[in-house]
Amino acid sequence: MEAFTALRLLPWLSAEGKPCFLAPGDSGGFVSRLADETEARQLADGLDVLGGARRVLDDPLSPNAEVRYTAIRLTECLADVLRVAESRGRRLPAAGHGAS
């Protein structure tokens, strides 16, 4: 019997704002590669935004508009990173399965 492979949560939403999934298959396929590249870009963007946020938040004279913009960007990046973590977590083998 073949083990069930979970759907891959993709790092973007549908036009309706709903989660998108990829059926298991060739991990080297176009959509899978695009998802991998998108996740890598989202994680890199998160690091960049975090660096800028630290500079803004370390300056007690940062204007309110700049602090607000920083919070908005941090929220966007956090949502992306949590989605990547959830997607990757879903693809880990269940405890006691696949480990010999």
Q: What are the pLDDT tens digits along the chain (100 aa)? A: 445 567 899 999 999 999 999 987 766 789 999 999 999 999 999 999 999 999 999 999 999 999 999 999 999 999 999 999 999 998 888 776 655 5
Strand partners of residue 81: none
**Which residues, other chains included, contact 13 with Cβ-Cβ below 8 Å and sequence gap of 6+?**
19, 20
Q: What is the pTM of this model?
A: 0.80
- In degrees and rounded to multiples of 5, residue 96 shows phi and psi of 85, -5
- In degrees and rounded to multiples of 5, residue 69 shows phi and psi of -60, -40
